[in-house]
């Protein structure tokens, strides 16, 4: 009887040990899997952070380079052309004859000066962009595009007029430009509406056209580049990007921009 009890006890003990061992192995596997997932998530976050910092650095370098080129154009090339224009104005002319070669050269130089000043201004626009509110920036862009196309581009909204960050202003402006240019080229629309409103401490941008629409899932590879560019820019500033389009019903893009502190 004792040996029988001992056998039962041995079997029970062995079973308990096996169960405990199985539980221990399962616990180790679960811990390992959890840590592996956490590590994968950390690596992904680091990669995203690195990509964002790299793009921010590229933007800063690009802006600094453009401002340097703009200053060089204004200070050096512009001054040389101004001097050349002054000299051509001093050339003797015969009032009874057609405009002389000197006068024609002077007109060309004057036009070149106008073009160069415009280029210099656009290249050094980074500081002005940083001092301008996103609302004013988009309103100016809509007014400019309105004059350049038969399609009506309207702007509205109640967003504040406080100055924004260069990064947010720059990327949102590029997204708006990309959307409007795509609407001009492909949508066959007559109206484009741009709205910027306050939203949860940040802003909500809504772009829409009354064009022919499209199926986002069936876009050819070469036509999807602009869409991917807009999505990438939205990711950099941590904005939520939502595009809706259907054939015959136009296109709508909603960009939810977080507070500036979220992009710091």
pLDDT of 95 strictly over 60: no
Last residue of a domain, one of 90, 123, 156: 123
CB atoms within 10 A of CB 251: 24
Residues 84 and 185 in one domain: no
Residues 256, 211 contacting (CB under 8 angstroms): no
Residues 102 and 147 in one domain: no
pLDDT of 85 strictly over 80: no
Residues 98 and 141 in one domain: no
Last residue of a domain, one of 100, 123, 146: 123
- For range 163-178, the mean pLDDT: 85
For residue 84, what are the domain limits? 2-123
Q: What is the mean pLDDT of the chain?
A: 79
Least trusted range by pLDDT, from 92-106, 121-135, 192-206, 231-245: 92-106
Tokens at 263, concatenated: 């992009």
pLDDT of 208 strictly over 70: yes
- In the chain the beta strands, taken as DSSP E runs, fall at 152-156, 191-199, 202-209, 240-245, 251-257
DSSP bridge pairs for 208: 193, 252
- pLDDT reported for residue 210: 94
Q: Which of 231, 227, 234, 118 is nearest to 167 (CA)?
A: 234
pLDDT one-digit tens code per residue, 136-164: 989 988 988 887 678 899 999 998 887 77
Q: Using pLDDT thresholds of 50, 70 and 90, give the confidence band for residue 242.
A: very high
Residues 38 and 74 in one domain: yes
pLDDT of 185 strictly over 70: yes
The CATH number assigned to the domain holding 165 equals 3.30.565.10
Residues 118 and 152 in one domain: no
- pLDDT reported for residue 71: 65
Residues 207 and 93 in one domain: no
- pLDDT reported for residue 198: 93
pLDDT of 119 strictly over 60: yes
Residues 118 and 196 in one domain: no
pLDDT greater at residue 200 or residue 166: 200
pTM: 0.57
Residues 209 and 170 in one domain: yes
Last residue of a domain, one of 123, 157, 173: 123
The total of structural domains in the chain comes to 2
Q: How far apart are CA 234 and CA 257, in angstroms?
A: 8
């Amino acid at each position: 009887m004792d040996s029988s009890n001992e056998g039962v006890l041995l079997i029970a003990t062995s079973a308990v040990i096996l169960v405990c061992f199985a539980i221990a192995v399962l616990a180790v596997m679960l811990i390992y899997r959890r840590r592996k997932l956490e590590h994968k998530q950390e690596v992904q976050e680091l990669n995203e952070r690195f990509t964002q910092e790299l793009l921010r650095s590229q933007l800063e370098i690009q802006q600094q380079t453009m401002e340097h080129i703009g200053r060089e154009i204004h200070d050096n090339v512009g001054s040389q052309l101004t001097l050349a224009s002054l000299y051509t104005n001093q050339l003797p002319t015969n009032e009874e004859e057609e405009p002389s070669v000197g006068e024609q050269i002077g007109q060309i130089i004057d036009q070149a000066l106008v073009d160069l000043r415009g280029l210099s201004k656009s290249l050094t626009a980074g500081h002005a962009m940083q001092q301008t509110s996103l609302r004013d920036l988009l309103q100016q862009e809509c007014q400019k595009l309105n004059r350049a196309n038969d399609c009506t581009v309207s702007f509205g909204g109640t967003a504040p007029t406080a100055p924004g960050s260069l990064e947010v202003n720059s990327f949102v402006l590029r997204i708006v430009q990309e959307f409007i240019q795509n609407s001009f080229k492909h949508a066959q629309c007559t109206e484009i509406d741009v709205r910027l409103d306050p939203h949860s401490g940040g802003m909500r941008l809504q772009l829409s056209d009354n064009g022919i629409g499209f199926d986002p899932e069936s876009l050819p590879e070469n036509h999807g580049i602009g869409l991917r560019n807009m999505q990438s820019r939205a990711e950099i500033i941590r904005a939520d990007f939502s595009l809706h389009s259907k054939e015959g019903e136009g296109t709508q893009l909603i960009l939810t921009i977080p507070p500036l502190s979220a992009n710091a």
